[in-house]
Each structure stands twice: as C-alpha cells, then as structure tokens.
Amino acid sequence: MINVVAQNPGPQTIQPNPKVTPGEAQQNFSNTLKNAIENLNDVQIESDKKTAALAKGEIDDLHDVMITAQKASVTLETTVQIQKKVIDAYNEIMRMQV
C-alpha cells in the first residue's frame, strides 16, 4: 500500500508579465468576460431548445432535458456570483487611497 502525502507549497504569488501592456491586459480581460457571457448564452439557448422540443413531443428523453436545464441554472448562478465578486473587487479598489 502506497501512502501519498500532499505537500503544501505555501502561498503562491502571481508574477506580472512585463511583456503585456495595460491595454493588452484590458483587452484580454474583456475577451475573457465576453467569452464567458457567450458561453452562458449558448447554454441557456440549448436548454430552451430542449425544453421546447420536449413540450412539442419532438424528444422524449426527460433526463437529458433536466440535466441541460440544471447545467444552465448552475452556469447562470456561477456567473451571477462571479459578477458580484468582480463588483466587490472594483469597489474595494476604488476605496483604496493612492
């Protein structure tokens, strides 16, 4: 029997990339948020389509429809929580004294 002990490497720090300009960092952040919102929209649309197809009798796999609906729900809730955290971080930065 092998025992594996995880070692805690300690706190990790994020090293800024000196090659990325503030404009590029802003664009990267913007693209990341845009992609996340597009993904959320795609998941919501897929759930709506499957729900409508089930209501019309075009599909009969209730489990798949429910799993898709739950996935859409979890994705939306995660997005809302991330939005709250981003707003809290922004407010905290705005309260900082320069």
State phi, psi for 7 to the nearest 5 degrees: -100, 135
- By CB atoms closer than 10 A (0-12, 13-18, 19+), residue 51 is middle
Tens digits of residue pLDDT in 40-86: 999 999 999 999 999 999 998 999 999 999 999 999 999 999 999 99
Tens digits of residue pLDDT in 16-42: 656 889 899 889 988 998 999 999 999
Give residues with Cβ within 8 angstroms of 40, minimum separation 6: 75, 76, 79
Task: Report which residue type is found at 48.
Answer: D
The residue extents of the domains of the chain are 33-95
Radius of gyration of the chain (CA): 21
Contact 63, 34 (CB under 8 A): no
